[in-house]
């Protein structure tokens, strides 16, 4: 399988660090012209140093109107990866309206906003395209302490299905990629102790955390023509975490 995005224009949000950065670099390596979005200028500068062909835009996608202007000014986009997200800790009993809005503004509303702009552009020029939303297995499996984050990802999955249904007739495919436990900088704060790390990897039949490149490879496949009839799918990249209810399958098999 030889994936090539030559002649295609890709937009990746949350591309300054972590999974988004890995995806942006992967798509660029496969020939796409990549526009990387982040709200942190230093992260974008670092990305540009790593791959000078990537175009960067410093943008806080939580702001609806300004996002529409910046994304609209980019022009043609064929491939979109809605990766940007925040994950802060508050229980259901602790969550405030401001906290809830902050998560939905970034994790859900921004993805809808940007997808709308990109899809309208593809439709207007009678082209074709693909969108991948970066969800999480926590859209299905509740994780303690982050109920609002989990809920935004569940909303993202239904948005994926709804967009796939609506955009399919216009030759735009939409899928979700749902990573399990990836040790990004954000997740390292959550999995702060070795005991917690072991408890997480113990639930994964493959027995380890997911690598960022493994997520990026899945995204590249879903965006490519090799996935030409995959539409509205929620694709887990979790080493089998979601398939069982055993508390520690690794320990039991040893």
Choice among 149, 161, 189, 252 that is catalytic:
149
DSSP single-letter state for residue 56: E
Q: pTM of the entire structure?
A: 0.94
Report d(CA 67, CA 70) in Å as an integer: 5
- Chain-centroid distance of CA 88 in Å reads 17
For strands 9-13 and 79-82, give the pairing: parallel
Give catalytic status of residue 226 as yes or no.
Answer: no
3-state SS class at 117: helix
Report the 10 Å Cβ neighbour count for 78. Answer: 22
Whether 12 contacts 37, CB under 8 Å: yes
Choice among 26, 90, 153, 161 that is catalytic:
153
User: What beta strand segments (E) does the chain contain?
Assistant: 9-13, 33-38, 55-58, 79-82, 129-134, 172-179, 234-237
3-state SS class at 210: strand
Q: What is the Cβ-side half-sphere exposure of residue 194, based on CA atoms within 13 angstroms? A: 0
Question: Across the chain, which distance is largest between two alpha carbons, in Å?
Answer: 57
Q: Six-digit token pair at 65?
A: 């109107």
Report d(CA 106, CA 112) in Å as an integer: 10
Q: What is the pLDDT of residue 252?
A: 55
Give catalytic status of residue 171 as yes or no.
Answer: no
Per-residue pLDDT of the chain (254 residues; tens, 9 = 90+): 899 999 999 999 999 999 999 999 999 999 999 999 999 999 999 999 999 999 999 999 999 999 999 999 999 999 999 999 999 999 999 999 999 999 999 999 999 999 999 999 999 999 999 999 999 999 999 989 999 999 999 999 999 999 999 999 999 999 999 999 998 776 777 777 888 888 889 999 999 999 999 999 999 999 999 999 999 999 999 999 999 987 777 665 55
Report d(CA 141, CA 149) in Å as an integer: 12
Whether 156 contacts 84, CB under 8 Å: no
Report d(CA 215, CA 238) in Å as an integer: 9
Q: What is the pLDDT of residue 253?
A: 52
Domains and CATH numbers, the chain: 9-182+211-239 (3.40.50.720)
């Amino acid at each position: 399988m030889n994936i090539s995005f030559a002649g295609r224009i890709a937009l990746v949000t949350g591309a300054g660090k972590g999974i988004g950065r890995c995806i942006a670099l992967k798509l660029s390596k496969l020939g796409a012209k990549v526009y990387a979005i982040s709200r942190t200028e230093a992260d974008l500068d670092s990305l540009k140093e790593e791959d000078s062909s990537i175009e960067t835009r410093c943008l806080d996608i939580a702001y609806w109107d300004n996002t529409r202007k910046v994304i609209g000014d980019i022009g043609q986009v064929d491939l979109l990866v809605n990766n940007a997200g925040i994950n802060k800790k508050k229980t259901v009993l602790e969550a405030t309206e401001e906290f809830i809005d902050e998560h939905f503004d970034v994790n859900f509303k921004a993805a809808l906003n940007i997808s709308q702009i990109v899809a309208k552009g593809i439709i207007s020029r009678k082209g074709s395209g693909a969108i991948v939303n970066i969800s999480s297995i926590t859209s299905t499996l509740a994780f303690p302490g982050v109920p609002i984050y989990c809920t935004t990802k569940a909303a993202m999955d239904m948005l994926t299905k709804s967009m796939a249904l609506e955009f399919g007739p216009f030759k735009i495919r939409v899928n979700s990629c749902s990573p399990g436990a990836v040790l990004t900088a954000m997740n390292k704060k959550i999995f702060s102790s070795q005991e917690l790390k072991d408890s997480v990897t113990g639930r994964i039949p493959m027995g380890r955390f997911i690598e960022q490149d493994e997520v990026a490879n899945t995204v590249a496949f879903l965006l490519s023509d090799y996935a030409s009839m995959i539409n509205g799918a929620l694709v887990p990249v979790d080493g089998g975490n979601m398939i069982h209810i055993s508390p520690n399958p690794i320990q039991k098999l040893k």
